[in-house]
Amino acid sequence: MSDYKYVILDKDPVEHIARLTINRPDRRNALDDATTDEMGLALEEVADDDNIRVLILTGAGGSFCAGGDLNTLKGGSDPGVLVSDNSDDIRRGFRGPHKMILGVQRMEKPVIAMISGTAVGAGFDLACACDIRIASHSARFMVAYVRIGLFPGFGGTWLYPRTLGSMGKAAELLFTGDFLESDEAYRLGFLNRLVEEEDLEATTMEMARKIAAGPPIAIRLSKLMLYKGLEFDLETALKMAAAAETITLTSYDHGEGTQAIREKRKPNYEGR
């Protein structure tokens, strides 16, 4: 276990799975500057650890993340840099949150959000940045910024239409600040699995273990191209796919996979 104050990072090198928990249950895991800074550092630690192939991201105490800590905004009990009179200070204040969001979305390893309770504002954005989302029926989602007169500064306008699968639904949540309940989130495809609270842990671990048992190089390249492909035309995507496939065709894991099929056994991928 790594030594952080506001997050908990557990790494299992045997199963190749890490779990990053936002650990401010008294604030429903709301994000202040110190917490987003620790999130960024923990994400870098996972990204640099070759023994880890999958990351689970979750919150402590029955909530995923209540968004930005209102105490640090205007009218709060502990206003921080985001209420500075200096616009450049405000702009620089987003570096930590942006590092966190990009740390999730750009990480080569798949990231699974394990969600119970509320995921609102920046917490919703954080869930959107993950690759896979598994939630219990207690989960509720809200863009929330419009409710306090803010624009989503954590990348929401880019994330929402891509994860919700609908510009119209993204616009509705963005403009109204209404809740998105778990049943509708699953129907829209935003959630990959929707389970009872008591099954959330087991379902998430089942998914994580399945991914961790796969070929790391192929999965890393697949995640890269999944997101970069949103920016390419088809011809460029085909050229990039050929380059990525060449890497996997020359890997040890490819040979191990085909040999395992011939021998009717499970492959043992080594990430090389």
CATH code of residue 234: 1.10.12
Residue 81 predicted with pLDDT over 50: no
Residue 89 predicted with pLDDT over 90: no
What is the number of domains present in the chain?
Answer: 2
Residue 100 domain-assigned (yes or no): yes
Residue 79 predicted with pLDDT over 70: no
Quick one: 256 and 180 in the same domain?
no
Quick one: 37 and 150 in the same domain?
yes
138 vs 63: CA distance, rounded Å:
9
Average pLDDT, rounded, for the chain? 92
Q: Which residues in 70-80 are b (16+ Cβ under 10 Å) and which e? A: bebeeeeeeeb
Give the pLDDT confidence of 51-78 residue by residue, as tens digits. 999 999 999 999 999 998 876 664 445 5
Residue 80 predicted with pLDDT over 80: no
Tell me whether strands 7-12 and 54-59 are parallel, antiparallel or unpaired. unpaired
Quick one: 222 and 207 in the same domain?
no
Quick one: 226 and 145 in the same domain?
no
Residue 186 predicted with pLDDT over 60: yes
Quick one: 45 and 173 in the same domain?
yes
Residue 121 predicted with pLDDT over 80: yes
Residue 198 domain-assigned (yes or no): yes
Quick one: 164 and 234 in the same domain?
no
Residue 116 domain-assigned (yes or no): yes
Lowest mean pLDDT among 184-188, 214-218, 226-230, 239-243: 226-230
This model's pTM is above 0.85: yes
Assign 236 a pLDDT band (cuts: 50, 70, 90).
very high
Task: State the pLDDT at residue 125.
Answer: 96
Quick one: 77 and 190 in the same domain?
yes
Quick one: 200 and 259 in the same domain?
no
Give the pLDDT confidence of 122-162 residue by residue, as tens digits. 999 999 999 999 999 999 999 999 998 999 989 999 999 99
Residue 111 in tokens = 């990231």
Quick one: 206 and 220 in the same domain?
no
Quick one: 141 and 229 in the same domain?
no
Mean of pLDDT values over 112-118: 97
121 vs 127: CA distance, rounded Å:
10
- Other beta carbons within 10 angstroms of residue 230's beta carbon come to 10
CATH of the domain at 171: 3.90.226.10
Q: Domain boundary at 212, 231, 255, which?
A: 212
Quick one: 178 and 250 in the same domain?
no
Share of the chain above pLDDT 90, in %: 84
Task: State the pLDDT at residue 75.
Answer: 47
Q: Which domain holds residue 141?
A: 7-212
Quick one: 93 and 207 in the same domain?
yes
| CA–CA–CA angle 182, 143, 131 (5° rounding) | 65
130 vs 111: CA distance, rounded Å:
5
User: CA neighbours within 13 Å on the CB side: how many for 186?
Assistant: 14
Residue 25 domain-assigned (yes or no): yes
Residue 192 predicted with pLDDT over 90: yes
